[in-house]
Structure formats: structure tokens, C-alpha cells
């Protein structure tokens, strides 16, 4: 996961304090990075942030709009998934957040 600052991407370091753990024994302190990104916004109620989009791994994503429920999930294009050399995901790349500010109303990907 990267942050875009002045047009350049910079890695966002994993920090355990970014997350809330109900059970402190489950707290992960190793720098494992991030598996994806979950976006929350006030979809149906102004005082409640709900999940509106998820991007997980190299190609999985799903999104929902106001007044809707999750239904279909999707994967990006994968080429050569049965190839011994491994799969090729030509449309995927590093994710980048233009702003982590709580006041920000946009998420931008440089890809």
C-alpha cells in the first residue's frame, strides 16, 4: 500500500496501532504489510460510516452504493492462471492513496 505525496508514491508502513484489537493476544506486531483496502463512508446514515468498497489482494474487489446490498463480487482479469510460470495480472499494480486525511472526500489510485 502506498501514499501519493506530491505526485510520488511512498510505502505506508504497517503499524499495529492503526488497528483496534478486542483481544490483545491477536495483536500483530510483525510488519506483514497490507492485504488490501476497505473504504467506509456515510452511505445510508450521515452519522454512521459503512463499508462501501473493498480491494483485496491482486485482483478482488467489490463495491456497494447507497440503498443497496452487496451482491456480485468480481475479480480483475487474470491471464495464464493454469500456467506453470504463474498467473499474469496485467491490469493490477500497487495501490496508492492520495490522502489519508479524515477530511478527504476522494481516494485516488495512480494506476
Largest CA distance in the chain: 50
Percent of the chain with pLDDT over 70: 65
**Beta pairing class for 48-56 and 36-45:** antiparallel
Average pLDDT, the chain: 75
Query: To which residue does cell 485482483 refer?
Result: 59
- pTM over cut 0.75: no
User: Apex CA 1: angle with CA 88 and CA 61, to 5°?
Assistant: 55
pLDDT by residue (tens digit) across 42-84? 888 899 988 888 888 767 888 888 888 876 676 666 666 677 7
Amino acid at each position: 500500500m502506498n501514499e501519493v505525496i506530491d505526485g510520488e508514491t511512498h510505502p505506508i508502513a504497517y503499524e499495529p496501532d492503526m488497528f483496534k484489537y478486542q483481544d490483545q493476544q491477536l495483536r500483530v506486531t510483525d510488519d506483514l504489510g497490507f492485504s488490501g483496502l476497505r473504504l467506509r463512508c456515510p452511505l445510508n446514515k450521515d452519522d454512521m460510516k459503512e463499508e462501501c468498497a473493498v480491494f483485496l489482494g491482486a485482483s478482488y474487489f467489490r463495491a456497494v452504493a447507497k440503498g443497496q446490498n452487496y451482491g456480485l463480487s468480481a475479480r480483475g482479469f487474470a491471464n495464464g492462471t493454469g500456467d506453470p510460470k504463474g498467473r499474469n495480472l496485467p491490469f493490477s499494480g500497487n495501490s496508492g492513496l492520495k490522502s489519508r486525511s479524515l477530511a478527504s472526500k476522494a481516494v485516488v489510485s495512480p494506476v
